A and B are shown apart, each in its own frame.
Chain A
Amino acid sequence: MANKTKKNLEIRISHYSITIFFLIIISLIISSSSSSPSSAFQSDELLLDDDEFGLEGGRGGGGVRTPIDLEYINNNPLQTPSTSNPTVRKRSSSSSSDHDLDSKVQFVLEHAFGTSDSEFVPAGTFTARLKTWSHGGQTLTKLRFSRNALTEAEKEKFEKLLKDDDFYRIRLPSNVVSPPGKDYVISSVKARCLIRDNLDEHFVIHTDGVNILGVNYGSPGACEYPRLLKLPRKWVFNSYTLLKSSEQAPRAPAFTEDIVLGETVEGEILNPPERSFWAKYWMYLIPLGLIVMNGFTQAMNLPEEQAGQPNSQTQQSTSQGSAVRRR
């Protein structure tokens, strides 16, 4: 008995792992295909010294994913992102290299240590290519980021932040064309979240044309809640950046052709149309026939013993048959 359950469990587990594997594959396919219609999405990023997260910028708008997933991506032969739509389009647009339409823009990342210290000082520079579309829209592509090294004073300030578990704040101009702009978008993170071996940071910049709506700043991975005090081995930032623009909403789903399609499929499932009258209605016809026969026998005034016996038998069988049918 116990053996059996164990076997069962094993089967279930293997079943689980298979389904999970398939799910992952399916989700990868879905995510790669779902990223394809988001032609509005342009992402590019600068890779600094770390190669661990190499693929991160190249991923589509399907959402953020863990490094573990990335391994799957690397191993998975199904994953062929280069054939999907947006990349091709992007590539063609970049290879056609209409340089006169593109221009370079620079904007400054500023940072501040702690909430009590409101002084923002430059911390690095973003460089991006501003692409002007034929219809007049402008989008940012090819984001590069170079961070200034931390000065000694800044390191001290940062250490203090770590000790106080305070916020490290950054800001970007809300409009990259006219840098001081009217305003800045601000983002903050508890300084202790940035500490891995070095200082790991992750920018997701949400843009709309030349405007920056918001910047999500934080560590690339998780930030455990009881934040422990830990000092970085090297005072060097590993920066990952990601540009995001809005996705298109899927259109309201079904239109007439879809319904027709759905209908035919439903119809096939429901009943194959080529069935004879007898095949369809036998369960009604047999009892009917029996009743008619019964009526006949009674009308003929036959002795009851002869008519009753077979009648009850057949009835039994038909009721069984119909029961099976119903199930």
Chain B
Amino acid sequence: MTRHKLKTAAMAIRFFLFFSLLFVSINPTFSLYEDQVGLMDWHHKYIGKVKQAVFQTQKAGRKRVVVSTEENVIASLDLRRGEIFWRHVLGNNDVIDAIDITLGKYVITLSSAGSVVRAWNLPDGQMIWESSLQGSTPSKPFLYVPVNLKIDRDNIIIVFGNGCLHAISSIDGAVLWTKSFASEGSDIQEVLQLLDSDIIYAVGFVGSSKFVTYQINAKNGEVVKQSNVDFHGGFSGELSFVSSDYLVALDSTRSILVSISFRDGKTSLHQIHISDLVEGFSGMASIVPSKLTDILAIKVSSLILFLRVTGGGKLEFVDNISYPSAVSDTLSFLEGQEAFALAQLSGSKVHLTVKLNNDWNSDLLKESIKIDHQRGLVEKVFINSYIRTDKSHGFRALIVMEDHSLLLLQQGEIVWSREDGLASIIDTNTAELPFEKEGVSVAKVEHNLFEWLRGHILKLKGTLMLASPDDIVAIQGMRLKSSEKNKMTRDHNGFRKLLLVLTKAGKLYALHTGDGRVVWSLLLPSLRRSDTCENPAGLNLYQWQVPHHHALDENPSVLVVGRCGTDSDAPGVLSFVDSYTGKELNTLSLSHSIAQVIPLPFTDSTEQRLHLIIDAGRQAYLYPRTPEAIGIFEPERPNMYSYSVDEEKNIIKGYALEHHCNKASDGYCFKTKELWSIIFPSESEKIIASVTRKSNEVVHAQVKVIADQDVMYKYISKTLLFVATVSPKAAGEIGSATPEESWLVVYLIDSITGRILHRVTHHGSQGPVHAVFSENWVVYHYFNLRAHRYEMSVIEIYDQSRADNKDVWKLILGKHNLTTPTSSYSRPEVVVKSQSYFFTHSVKTMAVTSTAKGITSKQLLIGTIGDQVLALDKRFVDPRRSINPTQSEKEEGLIPLTDTLQIIPQSYVTHSIQVEGLRGIVTIPAKLESTSLVFSYGVDLFLTRVAPSRTYDSLTEDFSYALLLLTIGALIAAIFVTWILSEKKELREKWR
């Protein structure tokens, strides 16, 4: 018995060893050495558009500002340089509502609509405590940190969320008391504390017309006093505290200000018509959400009005400024002195004004700072005061611009700026760099030659282990900033490119792939808010014009597609941008909407690519609108098809293009006609994912050579569509459905004819489904409820109709059907192979490497939940894997089947780096066949090179040519020496 056990154990060990050996030997995955980090990859950290900023400068050695952003990042930034001390990315479903600092050392965040409060240690960002708050009714959450309110020497934090007011201990996050307002239906808007008392005031609305004030004992949460006031006009819900016992609300018509004073528990209302204060007022007003004291700012059409409160509850008009400008909160900087800042863009300068609250006419600070005009308007301003060397008070301002960038202004200068718009990339594209100009000066060459030699001698020293520590540092520095990779010209290997990225702010950046620096940026005028276009949004980037390599003096250009508004039927906007200079060449405001953009495989004589834009009403429009384009397009029109996936109605439809549409005047408009439809029964299936092949993918081999010298023909069709549906119950989160009532069905559909080529059901599985489609295979990732694990499946499709072409005689006599055009209308004869494996990680996004010629084997790039990118060889997801591969299969490199996909730590292309908030992975083929660039983006950006089959076609970058030369030289010398020696010896022999 024991012997048997031992034997099995020994076998298991042997088996394990065999496998580990196997993995080591066959594992060509990308991995690098420690000193190679940063050589061909770069990682940039961003935080996103700042929502709120809190300064911490008193009594702190390192001056810092804590910010929360729209990308749900909380970060502590160095005030001197703008670098990130620490940051945390909260999930997408954990939106940060408010931040504050308490006890001078904890950062408090309120998130998830007022249900989670966390405290972070200010110096290092460690989480101190977290508490989740219960509540029933959703409401506008807020956070209030009273200045000097203590319960048992413990500072408390007041949080309102989900209809309840909570007091929380700032030391350990314990909930001290909770007062629910849900039963009374009151919606608390603000809380404030009267100085030196334990009473806090909570004010809010009940319904739309009742204003309610609670006086609450801060020690125990008991309501001491409550008073209601009815206002028959109704409130709009906006209010602003002007002083500790006086607030102003806006009525429902937004034309009357209601001032409310609640001195000594008595509440009284006054109505003030805005038209009484301001001459010629009409329309709607809104209260600027800045916390000011003694002054009220309201926005009226294109103006911001400042109103001052005078004694007796009267308001008085002070001044107005034109609207696109930002107002900061009030900052108290001296005993009793309070100030606020105004920031406004005019021309290419930002005007920053800091004013005292009680004295409008004098400015504490007035600065004009010249600013890059691609940053747009000032959206937000936060101020902070400091004591100058001459003991007077200075002010610094943190401003958030329209392009989401963050700047610190001090002493009339930009101290630092952060391009945080890059944290919210929508789409990416690439452009080749221009060729190197000829005629480089001789001096430069000599300098380069010297540098080159010096570099190589250093490298040689490094290789021969002769280098001193200083030399090693020099070598490392040289490798890292190697000017070679940052040049603005095209390189032989195609590693240097321009990455064009479109961000949520409507700004287009060109990043250099060498080091990720911004080459140029353009805030697209057509995607900026204007009177005609209220809510513009960028959608996609397309290659518009790629000059032929005979016309190198021309610049390539990209097409930016956007729409005016959030609905899918909002009118579209097109913008054409030069890829080298970043100038907008042309812009078009479309009369139709944009539902789909199809880049066509045709270009006109100026190398502009033809694009077909399909609107929400399924009419197709051809761009560019030239007669030449029509001339190219019209003969191909009968072979043009499109399809639409309607995820709400669970219908997939295919269309053909018909003649000109009903608007007879428009010759560039085409009707679409429904050709096919697939209707998923809504009671059993719901579409959750659809994936196609990348249109620019290159496939090198049409066949797959398998063991025994046999071949299988890949079914390669650009029109295949992968669709995944789940049962409606399983469409929610994992765990919301039982295995019996959840299933996942995947389809392979030909999008020309609507033919379902393959359909398979995974019972007991559910989404989310992430899939990649490449060549003739699909890999998809989903959750298996029965096994409680994630799974990955692969489907490969092979063409049987060409399988007969294996006969040599047929090939010799030309009786094969390999050159006949294939039609989608032929009945396809396909064979489908599939296999499933368990996979440890949940996946955020998936992509596949693509190379210039498609020869190199592929790797799946998996964005894991830990924000890393894992490169998994396609060979691990090969449906031909079997438990016992035959000898010939082993020779072919088939890996024995395992139930789980192994994750080898070295195969993380992001090595130790996390690409926070990972959202997308893009692969760009380099000119070198073995290599492709991988750009992954989220809140951070990361770019690296991967070589799935290793760099078989080039020497590594740190290859020491000097050593090679030296060796050759030494060999030649040795040959000569031995030759001479042998000659001499021969001579001596002869003389003997």
- Contacting residues, chain A, for B678 (C-beta < 8 A): 185, 206, 213-214
**B676 contacts A213, CB within 8 Å?**
no
**B18 contacts A186, CB within 8 Å?**
no
The stretch that binds B, out of A263-271, A283-291, A305-313, is: A263-271
Q: Is B171 an interface residue (CB 8 A)?
A: no
**A249 contacts B762, CB within 8 Å?**
yes
* Residue with the greatest number of chain A CB neighbours at <10 A, chosen from B656, B675, B676, B829: B676
Q: How far is the CB of A44 from chain B (nearest CB, A)?
A: 18
- Contacting residues, chain A, for B763 (C-beta < 8 A): 248-249
- Contacting residues, chain A, for B656 (C-beta < 8 A): 115, 167, 188
* Residue from B673, B756, B837 within 8 A of A252 (CB atoms): B837
Q: Is B754 an interface residue (CB 8 A)?
A: yes
**B809 contacts A116, CB within 8 Å?**
no
* Residue from A64, A248, A261 within 8 A of B883 (CB atoms): A261
> Given that A63-B831, A187-B753 are known contacts, is A12 also in contact with B826, CB under 8 Å in the complex?
no
Q: How far is the CB of B889 from chain A (nearest CB, A)?
A: 13
* Residue from B807, B827, B884, B898 within 8 A of A221 (CB atoms): B827
**A174 contacts B681, CB within 8 Å?**
yes
> Given that A174-B679, A266-B18 are known contacts, is A20 also in contact with B807, CB under 8 Å in the complex?
yes
- Contacting residues, chain A, for B822 (C-beta < 8 A): 225
* Residue from A65, A186, A253 within 8 A of B800 (CB atoms): A65
Q: How many Å lie between the Cα of A4 and that of B688 in the bound state?
A: 61
Q: How far is the CB of A259 from chain B (nearest CB, A)?
A: 8
Interface string of B623-664 (1 = CB under 8 A from A): 000000000000000100000000000010000101000000
> Given that A167-B675, A216-B753, A221-B826 are known contacts, is A262 also in contact with B883, CB under 8 Å in the complex?
yes
**B836 contacts A247, CB within 8 Å?**
no
Q: Mark out the residues of chain B between 756 and 779 whose CB falls within 8 Å of any chain A CB in the assembled complex.
A: 756, 759-763
**A65 contacts B829, CB within 8 Å?**
yes
> Given that A186-B676, A218-B827, A249-B834 are known contacts, is A211 also in contact with B761, CB under 8 Å in the complex?
no
Q: How far is the CB of A26 from chain B (nearest CB, A)?
A: 11
Q: Is A223 an interface residue (CB 8 A)?
A: yes
Q: Is A123 an interface residue (CB 8 A)?
A: no
Q: Is A300 an interface residue (CB 8 A)?
A: no
Q: How far is the CB of A132 from chain B (nearest CB, A)?
A: 16
**B673 contacts A254, CB within 8 Å?**
no
Interface string of A210-231 (1 = CB under 8 A from B): 0111101011111111110000
Interface string of A155-191 (1 = CB under 8 A from B): 0000000000101010000110000000111111110
* Residue from A186, A190, A218, A252 within 8 A of B787 (CB atoms): A252
**A262 contacts B761, CB within 8 Å?**
no
Q: How many Å lie between the Cα of A165 and that of B656 in the bound state?
A: 13
The stretch that binds A, out of B9-17, B600-608, B933-941, is: B9-17
Q: How far is the CB of A223 from chain B (nearest CB, A)?
A: 4
Q: Is A76 an interface residue (CB 8 A)?
A: no
Q: Is B784 an interface residue (CB 8 A)?
A: yes
* Residue from A115, A216, A223, A250 within 8 A of B675 (CB atoms): A115
Report how many A-B pairs have Cβ atoms within 8 Å.
Answer: 192
Q: Is A232 an interface residue (CB 8 A)?
A: no
Interface string of B810-832 (1 = CB under 8 A from A): 00000000001111011111111
Q: Is A296 an interface residue (CB 8 A)?
A: no
Chain B's closest residue to A184 (CB) is: B677
Interface string of B796-815 (1 = CB under 8 A from A): 00001100101111000000
- Contacting residues, chain B, for A40 (C-beta < 8 A): 761
Q: How many Å lie between the Cα of A55 and that of B582 in the bound state?
A: 65
> Given that A63-B831, A262-B883 are known contacts, is A187 also in contact with B710, CB under 8 Å in the complex?
no
- Contacting residues, chain A, for B680 (C-beta < 8 A): 213
Q: Is A202 an interface residue (CB 8 A)?
A: yes
Q: Is B791 an interface residue (CB 8 A)?
A: yes
Q: Is the interface of A mostly helix, strand, loop or mixed?
A: mixed
Q: How many Å lie between the Cα of A54 and that of B566 in the bound state?
A: 56
**B761 contacts A20, CB within 8 Å?**
no
- Contacting residues, chain A, for B784 (C-beta < 8 A): 252
Q: What interface size band does chain A fall in?
A: 35 or more
Q: Is B835 an interface residue (CB 8 A)?
A: yes
**A253 contacts B884, CB within 8 Å?**
no
Q: Is A94 an interface residue (CB 8 A)?
A: no
Q: Is A146 an interface residue (CB 8 A)?
A: no
* Residue from A68, A165, A253, A265 within 8 A of B897 (CB atoms): A253
**B829 contacts A188, CB within 8 Å?**
no
- Contacting residues, chain A, for B821 (C-beta < 8 A): 225-226
Q: How many Å lie between the Cα of A102 and that of B787 in the bound state?
A: 36
**B836 contacts A188, CB within 8 Å?**
no
Q: Mark out the residues of chain B between 835 and 850 whose CB falls within 8 Å of any chain A CB in the assembled complex.
A: 835-838
Q: How far is the CB of B385 from chain A (nearest CB, A)?
A: 63
Q: Mark out the residues of chain B between 668 and 726 whose CB falls within 8 Å of any chain A CB in the assembled complex.
A: 673-681, 684-685, 708, 710
Q: Is A143 an interface residue (CB 8 A)?
A: no
**A206 contacts B759, CB within 8 Å?**
yes
Chain A's closest residue to B16 (CB) is: A263
Q: Is B89 an interface residue (CB 8 A)?
A: no
Q: Mark out the residues of chain B between 333 and 384 whose CB falls within 8 Å of any chain A CB in the assembled complex.
A: none
Q: How many Å lie between the Cα of A258 and that of B881 in the bound state?
A: 14
> Given that A216-B755, A254-B897 are known contacts, is A175 also in contact with B820, CB under 8 Å in the complex?
no
- Contacting residues, chain A, for B857 (C-beta < 8 A): none
- Contacting residues, chain B, for A223 (C-beta < 8 A): 823, 825-826
Q: How far is the CB of B685 from chain A (nearest CB, A)?
A: 7
Q: How far is the CB of B554 from chain A (nearest CB, A)?
A: 36
- Contacting residues, chain A, for B18 (C-beta < 8 A): 266, 270
**B827 contacts A220, CB within 8 Å?**
yes
- Contacting residues, chain A, for B896 (C-beta < 8 A): 262
* Residue from B638, B708, B808, B832 within 8 A of A63 (CB atoms): B832
**B11 contacts A64, CB within 8 Å?**
no
**A16 contacts B806, CB within 8 Å?**
yes
- Contacting residues, chain A, for B710 (C-beta < 8 A): 19, 23
Q: How far is the CB of B316 from chain A (nearest CB, A)?
A: 64
Q: Is A110 an interface residue (CB 8 A)?
A: no
**B836 contacts A222, CB within 8 Å?**
no
Q: Is B269 an interface residue (CB 8 A)?
A: no
Q: Is B745 an interface residue (CB 8 A)?
A: yes
Q: Is A281 an interface residue (CB 8 A)?
A: no
Q: Is B793 an interface residue (CB 8 A)?
A: yes
Q: How many Å lie between the Cα of A213 and that of B755 in the bound state?
A: 11
Q: Mark out the residues of chain A between 45 and 90 whose CB falls within 8 Å of any chain B CB in the assembled complex.
A: 63-66, 68
> Given that A187-B676, A214-B676 are known contacts, is A249 also in contact with B11, CB under 8 Å in the complex?
no
* Residue from B14, B762, B804, B828 within 8 A of A267 (CB atoms): B14
Q: How far is the CB of B855 from chain A (nearest CB, A)?
A: 26
Q: How many Å lie between the Cα of A265 and that of B896 in the bound state?
A: 12
> Given that A174-B679, A214-B679 are known contacts, is A249 also in contact with B761, CB under 8 Å in the complex?
yes
Q: How far is the CB of A30 from chain B (nearest CB, A)?
A: 10
Q: Mark out the residues of chain A between 89 and 130 whose CB falls within 8 Å of any chain B CB in the assembled complex.
A: 115-116
* Residue with the greatest number of chain A CB neighbours at <10 A, chosen from B678, B684, B761, B829: B678
**B801 contacts A222, CB within 8 Å?**
yes
Q: Mark out the residues of chain B between 866 and 905 whose CB falls within 8 Å of any chain A CB in the assembled complex.
A: 883-884, 896-899
Interface string of B528-572 (1 = CB under 8 A from A): 000000000000000000000000000000000000000000000
Chain A's closest residue to B709 (CB) is: A19
Q: How many Å lie between the Cα of A40 and that of B896 in the bound state?
A: 30
Q: Is A233 an interface residue (CB 8 A)?
A: no
Q: What are 8 inter-chain pairs, A to B, with CB distance below 8 A? A: A16-B806, A19-B708, A40-B761, A165-B638, A211-B681, A218-B827, A247-B761, A252-B791
Further contacts, 16 of them, CB under 8 A, given A63-B830, A213-B679? A13-B807, A64-B827, A187-B676, A189-B825, A208-B681, A208-B684, A213-B756, A216-B756, A218-B827, A219-B825, A220-B827, A249-B762, A252-B899, A259-B883, A263-B12, A267-B14
B residues contacting A by CB (< 8 A) are 11-12, 14-15, 18, 638, 651, 656, 658, 673-681, 684-685, 708, 710, 745, 753-756, 759-763, 784, 787, 791, 793, 800-801, 804, 806-809, 820-823, 825-832, 834-838, 883-884, 896-899
Those 5 A-B pairs whose CB atoms lie nearest each other, nearest first: A225-B821, A214-B678, A115-B673, A211-B681, A223-B825
